[in-house]
A = this chain, B = another copy of it.
Amino acid sequence: MNDDNTTTIAIDAMGGDYGPKVTLAGAALALERRPDTRFLLYGDAELIDEALKEHEALAAASIVRHCEMAVAMDAKPSQALRQGRHKSSMWRAIEAVKTGDAMVAVSAGNTGALMAMAKFCLRTMAEIERPAIAAIWPTLRGESIVLDVGATIGADAQQLIDFSMMGGAMARALFGLEKPTVGLLNIGVEEVKGQDEVREAGRLLKESNLERIDYHGFVEGDDLGKGTVDVVVTEGFTGNVALKTAEGTAKQIAGYLRDAMSRTFLARIGYLFARGAFDRLRDKMDPRKVNGGVFLGLNGIVIKSHGGTDAEGFAAALDLAHAMARYDLMNKIAADLQTFHDRMSDAPLKVDESESAGQ
């Protein structure tokens, strides 16, 4: 497939809180924006065909593949894997990437089950120990990539370096950068100089002087919103907390703003005048626009959409999938990793004792 100029995306049509109604409406929106897309729609054929009646163009650009089951949003990953392998819409969408039928798979289903199935079906890349989930982070300078936002807890220096490579490749693919800047998330308090693995990863990244990424050094939590670097690397626990803290803070401030703007008569008048500006702000802060966590480090790209998103949000995840496929993310990652590992084979790992905190 894809010997023509189309991009084929496999969709787990049953995933998410609203199933085919939202996933297909999202696909229809994405198709309008990128008419070269083709879809493989996995799920209950009866439900999908019914929903497709409202989306004629989408129906013409899609192949429906019936699946007899869907993974429940609250299923345990191990249970989903046991029961849903080979027959669930989630598994079969992933499998389409493995067989080459699709260039990327997208699901709004259960994150844990999706990661478990993606790992089992696609396997991790030869040079990679663990996959990561990368998020697009809106910043004052545009957008950055942050990983890992929750695939696994903890990461050693080698894994942080792998994340740096993969994030760098994604930034080159998505933002069209020649040599993206990469920072390691750390804390700046003097008496605690950061986790040993973060410091070691920093030392190795600095020494290896890579051609395809520009290692910036350590960054702190407030550098995320500033957009200090193109790629921020951290382990999954911290990354997940940071992501949700930022989302929560944005909601909190939106709440303050709504409250302030409706409290007095003058404020309400002011709101009417400045309505265009508020719409612009809402647009900037719209979490749907940056919907989509990219699973990196597997032999194929899988994208997780928020489960509760609407058609616009799901379309954003499909836009991301389209970009990842077109710019050949997989091969970029593989090439970068190869370069780094070749270089490192001459330089054995060692910890620089002189940098140790003098506790």
Contact = CB atoms under 8 A, between A and B. Distances in A.
A268 to B, nearest CB: 8
A236 B223 CA distance: 18
Interface on chain A toward B: helix, strand, loop, or mixed SS?
Answer: helix
Given A76-B358, A226-B248, A250-B253, A187 B273 contact: no
Contact of A251 (B225, B251, B359): B225
Interface string A232-260: 00101110111111111111110111001
Contacts of A264: 276-277
Contacts of A115: 191
Interface stretch (A43-51, A279-287, A317-325): A279-287
A151 interface: yes
A224 interface: yes
Interface residues of A, number: 75
Contact of A192 (B151, B267, B280, B359): B151
A189 interface: yes
Contacts of A256: 140, 281, 284-285
Contacts of A210: none
A194 interface: yes
Interface string A188-199: 111110110000
Nearest to A241: B221
A274 interface: yes
A285 B249 CA distance: 11
A35 interface: no
Contacts of A248: 221-226, 246
A222 B243 CA distance: 8
A273 B195 CA distance: 50
A153 B190 CA distance: 12
Given A76-B190, A225-B245, 17 more contacts: A77-B191, A78-B359, A150-B187, A151-B189, A153-B194, A187-B240, A189-B236, A192-B237, A221-B244, A222-B244, A222-B245, A222-B251, A225-B251, A249-B249, A260-B281, A266-B277, A267-B273
Interface of A: 76-78, 110-113, 115-116, 139-140, 150-154, 185, 187-192, 194-195, 220-226, 234, 236-238, 240-253, 255-257, 260-261, 263-264, 266-267, 269-278, 280-281, 284-285, 358-359
